[in-house]
Amino acid sequence: MTYRAPVSDYQFIFDHIVDFSAVLNSESFSDVDQDTVLAILEEAGKLASDVIAPLDRGGDLNPAQLVDGVVKTSPGFADALGQVAEGGWIGMLASPDNGGMGLPLTVGTAVNDMMSGACLALSLYPLMCQGQIEALEHHASDDLKAVYLPKLVSGEWCGTMNLTEPGAGSDVGALRTKAERNGDGSYSITGQKIFITWGDNDFSENVCHLVLARLPDGAPGTKGISLFMVPKVIPNEDGSLGEKNSLHVVSLEHKLGIHGSPTCVMEYEGAKGWLVGEEHQGMKCMFTMMNNARLGVGVQGVGIAEAATQKALAYAQDRVQGKSPLGNEGAGIIDHADVRRMLATMRADTFVARSIALACGVSLDLGRTVPEQQARGAFLIPIAKAFSTDIGHEVAQTGVQVHGGMGYIEETGAAQYARDARITSIYEGTNGIQAMDLVGRKLMDGGEAAFALLDEIEVFAEAARATLPKRAIAVWNSAETLREGLETVLTLPMNDRFGVAVPFLRAFARVLGGYFHLKAAIAEGGDGPRSRLAAFYIKRMLPEHRALLAQVRLGAQDIYALSPEDLTV
């Protein structure tokens, strides 16, 4: 069985879970209708299922290589990415003024989910381009926009972001890459960057690097960092390609997974670059790209979870071991209670992660004109990134378990999902950093956005009591318990908050999951596949929030009570 894009699931979530109709009715997207969105999802689903998914295994077995200084990409990737570009998918979120489709972020999030499930290594290429396009649209000068945006949107050129250095990972402010003013409006960039996703390839006309560097008068830390456009090939004034820039790929990282994605060590040796935004304001500009990427990475986790679930379900239906406890002659291992439990957990959590990501997309789309929605979207971003990628990893690992010993054998393909998913909880800000952002910066409003979400859950659950009383009461109670946990977090000193950030984020996601499953059951009339899955989640998985919130009440004191010596016992 190969991956099939779950188009019907997106449509259901749009219609019944995240109020996507509000996006279509907004002034920002008045020229987009439901029929158009469905057609877009179906076309993207075909591309993901029929063109991209068949390359996933080959990309893992035949990874990108650096040969004589030239990156050779995995077989078939160039052609598939050519089709991605020709279909307009790279520029789907870009402004029509720059040649893009101008689609809602929610739709783009669904498309990125499909492409990630089809082949995560390949899907990283358009995601990097989309983030760079957004950063340029918001911060670049008109001259830079005129040169770069048409080529990036069309897919003729591609984009990367260069943050990390050997001595500057999560602490970006420790970077050592230097920028010098050339006196003609350009800058000379010197330094080394690592972990540069799709830092080079053998098919794009040009590779456009957004590079963080420090000018001589830049202050220490993140406040003194500037952002520069540093192309592989320097464009002429008319937009044609001129001379090669002073940069090159030093090596490709040898990674646990996503082998088809060339992750480069980049060296800049006085390379010519142009300022994006204002001097010393690079992090502000880069965060525009990073926020886009964090939601994009979140749905990478969703895509992997979907693909791993599909593979595990197919295997469990075909694999016969022992006698069926249900008395079904020749039935697969799906009849065994523990296997059924694993598959239900995988499917239930995949739905939750997808719903959270799309709810975040809806809020960010509406947030263009509604400040409350903008705040809600900002609050949901770290949850969407961290929970969805944790779930991608967990579901992929469970998929290996469903396969049993065969899951540990590379030929079945189950292990690839587990390897590929692992990076998603690390890059674009580790999930611990996402959780710290949630309890820190995202609660600087006194919890206003968070409390508003809990109010919404309780209002819906109260109304649902008339139809599904037991499930509705369980969800209402979970929201109230979470409210108490939120109130506790708001009283804690910041480092105590950081000590409980991860369980708090997980608890919030668990309660959101109960809310979304309850909405699904109500939409289905309380009887059907989604209703039965909702009952499974609310009875068996939602109660986890209570144990997580018990940790929240502890703060960080017991963590620091353990000395480094204690940890060597």
d(CA 371, CA 278) in angstroms, rounded, equals 25
Cα 111 to Cα 22, 118, 132, 269, distances in angstroms: 19, 11, 18, 37
DSSP 50: I
Map residue 540 onto helix, strand or coil.
Answer: helix
Q: Which residues contact 83 (CB under 8 A, 6 or more apart)?
A: 47, 51
Q: Nearest 5 degrees, angle CA 542-CA 547-CA 550? A: 135
Task: Return phi, psi of residue 157, to 5°.
Answer: -110, 160
d(CA 530, CA 460) in angstroms, rounded, equals 18
Phi-psi bin for 234: left (phi > 0), alpha (psi -120 to 50), beta? beta
Q: Are strands 241-244 and 65-67 parallel, antiparallel or unpaired?
A: unpaired
**Has 27 been annotated as catalytic?**
no
Residues 243, 428, 456, 484: which is the catalytic one? 428
Q: Are 234 and 245 in contact (CB under 8 A)?
A: yes
d(CA 549, CA 56) in angstroms, rounded, equals 39
d(CA 496, CA 554) in angstroms, rounded, equals 8
Burial level of 525, CB count in 10 A (0-12/13-18/19+)? exposed
| Catalytically annotated residues | 428
